[in-house]
Structure 1
Amino acid sequence: MQSNRDETSGYFHEIVEEHRQTLDPDHIRDFVDAYLVQHDRIKESGQDSFFSEKQLIQVMNDIFSAGLENVTSTIEWAVLFLMLNPNVQRHIQAEIDQVIGQSNEAQLGDIEHMPYTEATFWEVLRRSNIVALGNTHSTLEDSSLAGYSIPATTHILPNLYAINMDPELWENPEEFNPDRFLRNGRVYRPEYFIPFSVGRRMCLGDILTKMEVFLFLTSLLQQFHLKIPDGEQPPEVASIVSASMAPKPFKVSLVDRSNGSILK
């Protein structure tokens, strides 16, 4: 894992150097340009700052991992849960047909009119527990919690898995049920639901992940039903344990909604 991280950081370092050599402050091309310009401004002013190349590369690592591995895992879990819950799948398809239509391309703004689809996204995150532990925080002063003394500078990791599967917070937490994120037909996110952690260092992928998964799943379910392949047993809901929890490999059949044929 460390070797992969070092290799990725080296690649990002090359990107930063390339941007540095071709930087034009009057024509910002992307995030790296914007960061470098701000870094130079703060440096020239003599202010203390966390802006550094090391920090920039760390942010690039965060964006890359959140935008690739976690999004991919979320889509895999969504396909698995929808395949195992055809009623949920049909409900989403009804929203797709009503809001988007059967031939139009989904737009990011469509999700505002598809509460059940958005609720399903949140339920996928809750039930899959893709990231079991949140970002590390540190206590600013001595404190106590539930009888435990916590000294200043103690590293604290939010246990997201424990929150997502707590029966005192969720009725039948093992059950996949998007309705738990709906109230009177509107999307409802309880304050204790924190799949992207909390605080200033919470994951930047909140909106990014939701939009990417929304566009992929609506495009998929617009054209296909997801079903367990004939002759196959329902796959177990189990994770491959790693930094990001992906489901164990499973098979799925794509059935064309227009003619019932199975995609080979």
Structure 2
Amino acid sequence: MWSNRDERLFFFCENANFSYISTVDLHDDAEKSRSINKGPWGFPFLGILPFMNRRPPHLVYLNMSKQYGDVFSVQMGNNLTVCLGTTKLMKEFFSRNDSTGRPDTPLNNLMEGYGIITSQGALWKRQRVFLHEKFRALGVKLWPNTRFEKSIFVEIEELVTELNDSKGQAVNPARLFGRHIHNVICQLMMSYRFEPNDKNFTMFNERVSRGMQLFGQVLIGEHLRAYLKLPGKMAVLNEIKRNLVDISKFHRDHVIERVKQRETLTAAKEPADLLDYYLDRLDEEKSMDKNDKKNIFPDVDPVKQIVQVMNDLFSAGMDTSLTSLLWTFIMMLKNPEAASKVRAEIRKVVAVGERVTMAHRLEMPYIEAVLLETMRMVSLVPLGTTHVNTEDWKIGEYTVPAGTHIVPLINKMNMDPEIYPEPESFKPERFIREGKFTITDTFMQFGIGQRMCIGNMLARMELFLFFSNLMNSFEFSMPEGEDVPPLDGVLGSTHAPLPFKLCFKPLVV
């Protein structure tokens, strides 16, 4: 049965004047996709959209995969969508040059093709190479004693002080950890830190939180553009735009300020952060031919590109790292034996309260395994990132026409008993081989291929250092009478836990 909301939406779609689509277009799409392993057809114009608001999308797709197999297609409004449900398929197709397109949707188009997340073609390729190179130069590596490890410890030490000051009272870990996780990416980007009670940090949190709510209100419009013509939906879209302007202004102001500072320098100095590297490159390109393949700003406004890269790194880097850290603490509460093993491993290397550094990482394989097993079980981004194929694909006997939305079913792969026996059980040992931490080639949480998460090394550094040092400094528990949050959580831009509080008690030395 449809809800009243679904009936109203269907009535609107049946009676609206769609200038962007015709019955011929629908017929052509159906003919093209006839050779694809079909999932449920859904309804005219809407496809399966009416069913997607009843359960989280990844669970809907998971149930479909049980009936239709490891590769199947569905119609999501205007968009033909193909779901890939095995690591073999994901490796094979996401490593191809023609798999790196991004969906042409209203929300994606707000970024106008700038940044690193939604950019494509030459801009995306050159920016990705540049960012990889500069991340390494700034010390984002799994090696000891890098310059960026010191920046992370600035945040860890202040966080430890704040937790000591809480004196065992219940605190909101998302709020307390959030500023420090924010600061890690901010220091990398532009040597900036949010101080306690910083108004800008409050603004960012409000905009990001509100943005998640707003995206949910117009998500159908990603697949059915006419939905955005409904009363009130354009107002939501305009508010999203204003939020983006506010966040962009913060970063743009820092770019302008840095340019002014650099004009006063009498001699060149080593770049302190990503912004310095970008501005150095911008100076080099002033004398470079516009068509030079080394130009990392082909046919785009450089400042706008830098600002959107900062927006992307800030939002993606903060949200995923914070959410992973919160889930890991929940896993320790749900699996006290694993928590004991973590502390026992730390004790073999450093004393209680002493600093755990990247130099200790290879001696602590169980800790890294705990972090990965947590990501596997909760599927931080259960549907990965949607790709678009820029050319027709053949998947076995099936044809996938160019322009199709390709969705990896990460949660299905993470819970596949053939890959991970007893997938519902928390077993960090899955990622340890002969006493050494090993990322198996079936672990897909960071993605795979050319669009693999550009910040995966930064995330691994952050999580290892924050988690190991907090585990070596505190015992923690739920406030009296409160239950450990369930693994269901809530699905926004990531799969996050429900709000919860923790009590931190310093470990006895």
Shorter-chain TM range is 0.7 to 0.9
Query: Which deviates further from its counterpart, 195-204 or 229-238?
Result: 229-238
Distance 1:167 1:69 in 2: 29
Alignment match of 1:39 (pick from 261, 268, 282): 282
CA shift for structure 1 position 116: 0.4
Query: Which deviates further from its counterpart, 72-81 or 44-53?
Result: 44-53
Distance 1:4 1:77 in 2: 28
Q: Which runs of 5+ in 2 are unaligned?
A: 1-210, 212-239
State the secondary structure of the residue aligned to 1:226. strand
Alignment match of 1:116 (pick from 339, 360, 366): 366
Alignment of 1:143-222 (within 5 A): 143-222=393-472
Distance 1:140 1:102 in 2: 54
Contact 1:223 1:257 (8 Å CA) reproduced: yes
Q: Deviations over 1:126-184 (max 9, x none)?
A: 11222223334342422122543222344434332222222332112222211111112
Alignment match of 1:8 (pick from 239, 247, 253): 247
State the secondary structure of the residue aligned to 1:180. helix
Once superposed, what is the RMSD of the aligned Cα atoms?
2.4
Opposite residue 279 of structure 2, the aligned amino acid is L
Indicate the residue corresponding to 2:351 in structure 1. 101
Indicate the residue corresponding to 1:235 in structure 2. 485
CA shift for structure 1 position 98: 0.8
Opposite residue 68 of structure 1, the aligned amino acid is M
Indicate the residue corresponding to 2:184 in structure 1. none
Contact 1:63 1:204 (8 Å CA) reproduced: no
CA shift for structure 1 position 233: 3.8
Indicate the residue corresponding to 2:140 in structure 1. none
Q: Which runs of 5+ in 1 are unaligned?
A: 260-264
Q: Deviations over 1:94-124 (max 9, x none)?
A: 0111112213211122111100011001111
Indicate the residue corresponding to 2:153 in structure 1. none
Contact 2:353 2:507 (8 Å CA) reproduced: no
Opposite residue 261 of structure 2, the aligned amino acid is T
CA shift for structure 1 position 92: 0.4
Contact 1:136 1:155 (8 Å CA) reproduced: yes
State the secondary structure of the residue aligned to 2:343. helix
Q: Deviations over 1:3-34 (max 9, x none)?
A: 43332122212222222333368223321121
Opposite residue 145 of structure 1, the aligned amino acid is I
Distance 1:163 1:102 in 2: 38
Query: Which deviates further from its counterpart, 71-80 or 39-48?
Result: 39-48
Query: Which deviates further from its counterpart, 173-182 or 130-139?
Result: 130-139
Opposite residue 26 of structure 1, the aligned amino acid is A
Alignment match of 2:272 (pick from 29, 32, 36): 29
TM-score after normalising by structure 2: 0.47
Contact 2:321 2:462 (8 Å CA) reproduced: yes
Indicate the residue corresponding to 1:250 in structure 2. 500
TM-score after normalising by structure 1: 0.86
Distance 1:62 1:203 in 2: 12
Distance 1:202 1:61 in 2: 18
Give aligned-pair identity as a percent. Answer: 34
Structure 1 residues 39 and 156: CA distance shift in structure 2, 3 A: farther
Alignment of 1:23-102 (within 5 A): 23=262, 26-27=268-269, 28-46=271-289, 47=292, 49-51=295-297, 52-102=302-352
CA shift for structure 1 position 62: 2.4
Distance 1:41 1:136 in 2: 35
Contact 1:83 1:252 (8 Å CA) reproduced: no
State the secondary structure of the residue aligned to 1:45. coil
Distance 2:386 2:481 in 1: 45
State the secondary structure of the residue aligned to 1:225. strand
Q: Deviations over 1:35-62 (max 9, x none)?
A: 1222342342212544233332222122
State the secondary structure of the residue aligned to 1:213. helix
Greater relative contact order (Cα < 8 A, sep 6+): 2
Distance 1:130 1:60 in 2: 22
Distance 2:386 2:261 in 1: 35
Contact 1:23 1:33 (8 Å CA) reproduced: no
Distance 2:243 2:376 in 1: 28
Instruction: Return the structure number with greater helix share.
Output: 2
Structure 1 residues 38 and 247: CA distance shift in structure 2, 3 A: same
Structure 1 residues 252 and 18: CA distance shift in structure 2, 3 A: closer
Structure 1 residues 240 and 120: CA distance shift in structure 2, 3 A: same
Contact 2:330 2:484 (8 Å CA) reproduced: no
Indicate the residue corresponding to 1:17 in structure 2. 256
Matched, 1:127 2:377: yes
Distance 1:217 1:15 in 2: 31
Distance 1:103 1:252 in 2: 19
Indicate the residue corresponding to 2:181 in structure 1. none
Opposite residue 22 of structure 1, the aligned amino acid is Q
